[in-house]
Structure 1
């Protein structure tokens, strides 16, 4: 479904401010922001980092914040 809407100037200025690249289209900005705030959305890079972190934890390669603080002399 497609529908044309008029975007008020203040909203358009916000969209322009949120562009990642000068040639990014307003619909791309809106879609990216909506995906970011979706409860179900995790970008590919984040998903990979989460999986790597879980594997490191399972393999005992991770260090807790508390242990790192002790090691560095903060605690």
Structure 2
């Protein structure tokens, strides 16, 4: 009996879900929302001095054959590309 009742309930839900979902023109809802946002943001930045570069000497018996050196704020695209 429970099984039959469960089956009837499932079928009723399926039929209700598949029913025509039109909304009559008489039922319309209008929502007016007014929002006002005022925000004041104060940002304080502290300038930190760039430390002097630390020279790195090659260990005895080794020779530096290649070195990355970047001048400026951007990579020189004549020398470097994206993967």
Using structure 2 for the length normalisation, give the TM-score. Answer: 0.21
Greater relative CO (CA pairs within 8 A, separation 6+):
1
More helix by percentage: 1
- Give the number of the structure whose alpha-carbon radius of gyration is greater: 2
